[in-house]
Amino acid sequence: MARVMDSAGGFTALELLLVVVLTGIVGGIGSVSLPHLAGSVRLASAADRLAAVLRAARGQALARGRSIEVRFDPAARSWNVRERLDPPFEAHQLPPGVVFQSLPSALRVRFSTVGTADNATVVLAASGRARRIVVNQRGRVQLQ
């Protein structure tokens, strides 16, 4: 048997108000954490890319039998790869919101023909977080 409802179907004003309040709270939480999350993703991506470029530069120094440098330009928020005195053959830019927090004093990391390197630490920062890329004398690149 079918049951007949006496009242009209729908939501009460209190139920609608509750939905609007909950939507506002959830939306507010998302808008606060979204920029922080985006900054963290950009930072991780930039650190991964820089570490990969440093590893590739070491490989190129070994393959070419020539010193390869990764030079940093903090004002332009960029770095490039070059043989010592030649023009750059590769250039990279930091993503928006990511900055160099710390760089080697020479503003470069040089890899020798046998893969050794200057000790260097590059620190990238964004959204209150930082990632370190460390190069030791043996040319090993470590992301921390």
Instruction: Summarize pLDDT for 68-119 with one digit per residue, the tens.
Output: 999 999 999 999 999 988 999 999 999 999 999 999 999 999 999 999 998 9
Rounded to a whole number of angstroms, the CA Rg of the chain reads: 26
Domain ranges of the chain: 14-143
Fold classification of 14-143 is minor pseudopilin epsh fold (3.55.40)
Q: Give the helix, strand, coil percentages of the chain, each rounded to 5.
A: 35, 30, 35
Query: Could you report the per-residue pLDDT of 37-81, keeping only the tens digit for each?
Result: 788 999 999 999 999 999 999 999 999 999 999 999 999 999 999
Of the candidates 92, 14, 101, the residue with the CA atom closest to the CA atom of residue 50: 92
